[in-house]
A and B are shown apart, each in its own frame.
Chain A
Amino acid sequence: MDIVYFLVQQMMIFSIPLLIVALGGLFSERSGVVNIALEGIMIIGGFASILFVNYMQSRHIMDGQLLFLCAVLVAAIAGGLFALLHAYAAINMNADQTISGTALNMFAPAFAVYAARMIQENHVQQITFNNTFRIAEVPILSKIPVIGDMFFKQAFITTYLGIAILIAAVIVLYKTRFGLRLRACGEHPQAADSVGINVYRMRYAGVVISGMLAGIGGLVFVVPTSTNFNASVAGYGFLGIAVLIFGQWKPGRILFAALFFGLMKTISSSYSGIPILLDLGINSYIYKMIPYIATLIVLAFTSRNSQAPRASGQPYDKGGR
């Protein structure tokens, strides 16, 4: 059983950032703006929040879970602000959304390296932090059999944050007036406009929310796996887009896709801790390929009907039909 618990804990480390970032992409695409800049926004979010953590820890102002929650806030603000650039190009300037997204993806890592080397006294691009955020045991909840061992021991607060964001996303998108309007703008903006919805404002909201979530995703990606931020999120932004498409632009399926991919990734990265898999004697590179091959195979069987928002990627033209 210990192996199962270990695998679930590992899976969360991979799945949760993907889930958060894909949900970010969901808000943007549902409002009608393709956000290929998720990778870059993650980097900016990770950069700003880890810099914040570094500052607070080195001066002993704050630490522990409170610092982490403040860092989440910083990541969200940084990501949201950075996403405004994409929103301005896509919504006000009718720009090709792939172009401005690509520009943001290129800008973010370069800026993170540039700024880190300029700001830090030792002029290195890595920003270090002390990982004091792991929760050894959640009181009471960890006593629940099975579930307690899986989710409430050796966990990061990010796991609960990810689940909270998922629930919030479902409620906002499907149970509120705002969510209905947002989705209308992604399906048929002219129709939405004709009933008095401000398409531009809704799309701004979608892109900024997506930036905030992607920014948080950047922080959530870095914290459990490392003790420094090196201007990279290892392609997780693009994987987030893949999870979004895999999840057919629906929160529930996105959760499934993120968990599936996370499980595959867990198997590939920790096979050496699982005696049965280790005994097979397969090269580690083959294991590394598994998540991607498995995703391709699953996609082949599940992609018959694409559920992409219809107006996603098209600049809104008031006079268009």
Chain B
Amino acid sequence: MNKWKSLIHSTRFLLVKSLYFQVMNKWKSLIHSTGFTNAASSLLAILVGLLFGFVIMLFSNPKEAVEGLGIILAGGFGGGAKGLGQTLYYAIPLIMTGLSVGFAFKTGLFNIGAPGQFTVGAFAAIFIGIKWTFLPAPWHWIAALIGSAVAGGLWGLIPGLFKAYLNVNEVISSIMMNYIGLYAVNFAMKAPAFKSAPALFDTTMNLSSNVAASSVIPQGFFEDIFPGSIVNYGILIAIAVAILMYVVLNKTTFGYELKACGYNRDASRYAGISEKRNIVLSMVISGALAGLGGGLVYLSGANGRRYKVVDVLLNDGFNGISVALLGLNNPIGIIFTGIFIAYITMGGEYLQKLDFVVEIISIITAAIIYFSAFALIFRKIVKRITGAKDVLQIAETDAPKPDAKEDKE
């Protein structure tokens, strides 16, 4: 009798115990997964970067430093619903150029040509948006977006071809293409051929003219959620493209081949992958992403951005490098880092009511990126905090065998 009771007791006990370890193992495998460790180490870099910025603020303006930090942390919330909407609008170019640079990084290429690709993409979108008024509403902005991606892709194609067939380092050819793109666009913007109505360039404002209403990406429900903001479906397109890139890179043979070329070009050629074709394709895709970013930003109606003809490369492309690196070149990570950088940039705009120079945001972002370079060390710290490895092993050996096996699968 006593024996039987203890048997039940022990079975029930085993069951509870097994359930407990099942949950614990799930949790542990989550916090020990590389994704979690990477995200946590990025968060740690963000914390250290913010701390660094705070120290500089204390140094330059001790009275308002705490209030200033609060405004930066409040970010887009500082402007209420409108501020949040604007945050999303600012995030669009960051996400797209981040995807462009990150995608190229994944395939072993450094696309420093995002500024040029972004600019020619913007030009194509503005050109189609102003001149192709024969198109009806949805088709007009869709055509303009496709045009921007094609233009950006073309600007990536040249460094790709040069790299694959002429062995020209893609960094140098991309830098050259940046300037060629910049001057070509500035030339075309002011070219006499495009002066006839509807004129491409607004000489009184020294900006590109407004694009036709039919070529503006619709705001839809964003108009109600974020009143006063100019954010539109462009942000949804950017996120959708990011998810698409994630799928392409991680779930398709094509993406696998591209990444294989990035890891080891000779080994991929040995495995029968055409590495020349892949270099060209990945530069074209990378360029198209940056170009599409240009299209998404400049098709935003009268209060959106308009192209300014100056002989300086746009910063959006270079910011893409930061976004990609902070997002660890992962398309999903890039969505978050793009929104995050846009968020504190908005904070920086509201910061101007205090006695601070707005560049503090760039200083903080730079510090965050610098500390994110310490990823190896940070990952070790994160692993120490989330629990040493041997704890997990003990738990596994303690748990009933079948469960442990299931977990491993």
Contacts and interface: CB of A to CB of B under 8 A. Distances in A.
Interface of A: 85, 89, 93-96, 98-100, 102-107, 109-111, 113-114, 117-118, 234-235, 238-239, 241-242, 245-246, 283, 285-286, 288-289, 291-293, 295-296, 299-300, 303-306, 308
B370 A89 contact: yes
- The 7 A-B pairs at the shortest CB distance, nearest first, are namely A110-B362, A285-B187, A107-B366, A103-B370, A95-B373, A106-B366, A99-B373
Given A95-B374, A288-B183, A296-B162, A102 B322 contact: yes
B186 A95 contact: no
A303 B175 contact: no
Contacts of B110: 98
Contacts of A239: 175
Contact of B374 (A89, A104, A109, A246): A89
A114 B360 contact: yes
B167 A107 contact: no
B377 A106 contact: no
B206 interface: no
A241 B357 contact: no
A106 B190 CA distance: 31
A95 B375 contact: yes
B186 A285 contact: yes
Contacts of A238: 112, 175
A124 B308 CA distance: 23
Interface residues of B, number: 48
Interface in B359-382: 359-363, 365-367, 369-370, 372-377
A174 B168 CA distance: 26
Contacts of A103: 322, 366-367, 369-370, 373
Given A245-B172, A300-B168, A304-B167, A106 B369 contact: yes
Nearest to B190: A285
A233 to B, nearest CB: 12
Given A96-B325, A109-B362, A285-B186, A293 B180 contact: yes
A299 B158 CA distance: 13
7 contacts: A102-B325, A103-B366, A109-B359, A111-B359, A114-B363, A296-B180, A304-B166
Interface of A, secondary structure class, is: helix
Interface of B: 56, 60, 110, 112, 158, 162, 166-169, 171-173, 175-177, 179-180, 183-184, 186-187, 190-191, 311-313, 318, 321-322, 325, 357, 359-363, 365-367, 369-370, 372-377
Contact of B169 (A117, A293, A303): A303
Nearest to A85: B370
A291 to B, nearest CB: 8
Contact of B377 (A93, A102, A105, A245): A93
A111 B363 contact: yes
B363 A110 contact: yes
A10 to B, nearest CB: 18
Contacts of B191: 283
Given A239-B175, A289-B180, A113 B357 contact: yes
Given A110-B366, A114-B363, 10 more contacts: A95-B374, A96-B373, A107-B366, A110-B359, A118-B357, A288-B311, A291-B179, A299-B166, A299-B173, A303-B166
Nearest to A96: B373
A296 B374 contact: no
A89 B373 contact: yes
Contacts of B167: 303-306
A234 B370 CA distance: 23
A246 B373 CA distance: 28
Contact of B370 (A104, A241, A288, A295): A104
A118 B360 CA distance: 12
A239 to B, nearest CB: 7
A286 B187 contact: yes
Nearest to A243: B172
Given A111-B363, A303-B168, A289 B179 contact: yes
B171 A99 contact: no
Given A89-B370, A102-B325, A288-B311, A241 B171 contact: yes
Contacts of B369: 99, 102-103, 106
